[in-house]
Structure 1
């Protein structure tokens, strides 16, 4: 069971305003993650999730006061639409216009193949606040858990900078993640590790590819450095050869022989050689 919450968000435009956002996330026995988020929204509601770290998202749904919205691209109140944009899976829902009034909605979706599965511990590793989000969130918390307290590891990252002090393990079922004063462009990532085997899931294809890239990255960097050095040496050698063959003065030829006897009384000739 994982639960999460958001409080106190306001927008800079009238396209999206989210005064608060709360939710529950349940990690199912097959490794799927079922999200149920409560959004307090002004104007238009919507969410986009970047692809690449899960297999699929299914079971999208939106409701207000227990009344389900209908999937439709008409843009009418009481409908929602699904679409893909810039390698993101997105949902947008529509409701009757209001004058700065706030409405409460429930957004549901299930992430398939989103957990990281390792022998040393399975991981919930999720960008809960995306860097391209157009509204700030001032305070948020997330509660994951499913093991003994001493078997859980948890941390947070803000803009890829680790902030472990914002993750607090409460008990075997609860970890609280707390962040504050998020601005446009900030990214907030949550990470919780629990013992391997609690869920019956295998590593997804994207995880295998990611781990393989991470494993060979040091060798690629080493090779890049080696070839850069080789290119530097080769370039210097090439410049030297170019100078040697074309840039310097031609050799003067054979050096004059040494004569041990004094010169004769004949008048000296006028000759000279310009040497390097």
Structure 2
């Protein structure tokens, strides 16, 4: 048996296809010849020799970007056996065909050849170029990419030549290779300049720049040249100053926005209370919704807490029900209709729940709750003002700060958006300045939102309620005050601590609220029974099922209601596969 396994393994290794990841090649030779024509166009021929050190390889490609030129046409491809046939299929697998298509802002030429492994292949890529001769007052120039930069492989040898349409004397031609390595060499002869280099590293470009007298070629300056010259001049003379100014402006916007908002807050901030706690029970007679508003909690919490408070006073009952296809859900039922004794907040909650029917399923789709949430905040504010806890004049001071914050945030976002579009042309500090402006807006929004408009009495009440919230959050399992679960629950919901409160009554004899009928009991049973004898499960269900149903009914509604231009022409990249 071991011999069979060994034999199978050896055969699998021998006959398995080569791993695609192990395929490799280098550019053995790239020879680029540029013929400058009398009409100002160029005829470019690239002889590309690839040496495959593994395989098989079946296609190669060359990307021809149209940077600093007006267009590329008449693309051809051939090898020693003849010309390749152009096809429309971009993913053609037919040997001796090629296709041309747009890819990442360049014309990609992709050609297919017979599978090749551990061998070399040479191809000749030809094309015509318009708008690549640069025109200056003292002469014309061709600056061409002899070896393209966008590649991952080494180029072992490279040559390039730029030939003029006339045999201009060598003394009237200047040539340079700005990107050539020290071993590169440039030579000038009558009517042409050439370049030779070796071992051009991946991602490195090799260019040849040739300037010659005016009048050798016809035609007008290319369309892109004026913009390119402006960009070159801007980058050399103006961009450094713009960068410095925009960087200083960005710092000033961030610092100024934050400092300005902070100084404004010093004159508008709410009074502080010296009360230091602790508080073990609700410190005053505020209703749960008023408590939530005082502490800046959400309308969702205020609505849910008010429902529970009304249940404690006998106006509402909650029935948990289970059905095979619907799962578990909670149904609220109106028990009393004498709502004249209720305050405006409580009447608004009862109206949102039971205006249409005496029972309602709390499933988060009740559209009437949507309209109730803003009303709850307004009514709670009016009640807090009537109690002397909020000062309308002080509270109104937050509006200018919030308005300024919104303006700065929107303007900053617009500047950042448009700055990103012009960053390469003007300055990369443009979007940074927009972000800095937006951060100043965030500072004003934060400071403005923190102004509650509290009076001295309001600050005292806020401090006491915060200490009571800390007390509820600090209760451990089994430490819930005996006999007070139903009374504390509305306030715990208003303060965001209902889960901690419920957990503090686990492993106790605390009865479930009299208004709650869990599915395990049924509506015909008495809910006010101790929570032991397996009732830890009841408390857990109460916390997970009932409270989540209540919060979902209002939270779903809440979410519904809220609201260089310098460089060579040509270039690009290439590869094989």
Common fold, TM-score beyond 0.5? yes
Deviation at 1:28, TM superposition (A): 0.7
- Does residue 84 of structure 1 match 2:121? no
Structure 1: unaligned runs, 5 residues or longer: 1-11, 249-276
Q: Is the 8 A contact 1:155 1:164 kept in 2?
A: no
Q: Is the 8 A contact 1:143 1:177 kept in 2?
A: yes
Q: Is the 8 A contact 2:163 2:192 kept in 1?
A: yes
Deviation at 1:244, TM superposition (A): 8.1
| Aligned partner (choices 57, 60, 66) of residue 75 of structure 2 | 60
| CA–CA distance in structure 1, aligned partners of residues 182 and 176 of structure 2 | 4
Distance 1:184 1:223, change over 3 A: closer
Q: Structure 1, residues 196-237: CA drift from partner, whole Å, max 9, x if none?
A: 221102111111211122233323432443354466678778
Q: Is the 8 A contact 1:16 1:45 kept in 2?
A: no
Query: Which is further off, 84-93 or 33-42?
Result: 33-42
1:48 aligned residue: 63
- Does residue 118 of structure 1 match 2:117? no
1:225 aligned residue: 244
Distance 1:163 1:192, change over 3 A: farther
Output aligned runs, 1:91-130, within 5 Å.
91-130=109-148
SS of aligned partner of 2:229: helix
Q: Is the 8 A contact 1:169 1:175 kept in 2?
A: yes
| CA–CA distance in structure 2, aligned partners of residues 242 and 206 of structure 1 | 47
Distance 1:169 1:184, change over 3 A: closer
| Aligned partner (choices 30, 40, 48) of residue 39 of structure 1 | 48
Give the 4+ runs in structure 1 shifted more than 6 A: 162-165, 233-248
| CA–CA distance in structure 2, aligned partners of residues 240 and 46 of structure 1 | 57
SS of aligned partner of 2:115: coil
Deviation at 1:37, TM superposition (A): 2.4
1:193 aligned residue: 211
1:256 aligned residue: none
1:255 aligned residue: none
Structure 2: unaligned runs, 5 residues or longer: 1-20, 268-577
- Does residue 170 of structure 1 match 2:188? yes
| CA–CA distance in structure 2, aligned partners of residues 199 and 220 of structure 1 | 34
SS of aligned partner of 1:117: strand
Deviation at 1:14, TM superposition (A): 3.8
Q: Is the 8 A contact 2:31 2:47 kept in 1?
A: yes
Q: When you count strand as a share of all residues, which structure comes out higher?
A: 1
- Does residue 19 of structure 1 match 2:32? no
SS of aligned partner of 1:106: strand
Deviation at 1:58, TM superposition (A): 0.7
| CA–CA distance in structure 2, aligned partners of residues 13 and 205 of structure 1 | 45
What root-mean-square deviation, in Å, do the aligned CA atoms of Structure 1 and Structure 2 show? Answer: 3.0
2:485 aligned residue: none
1:149 aligned residue: 170
Q: Is the 8 A contact 1:145 1:194 kept in 2?
A: no
Q: When you count helix as a share of all residues, which structure comes out higher?
A: 2
| CA–CA distance in structure 1, aligned partners of residues 84 and 257 of structure 2 | 70
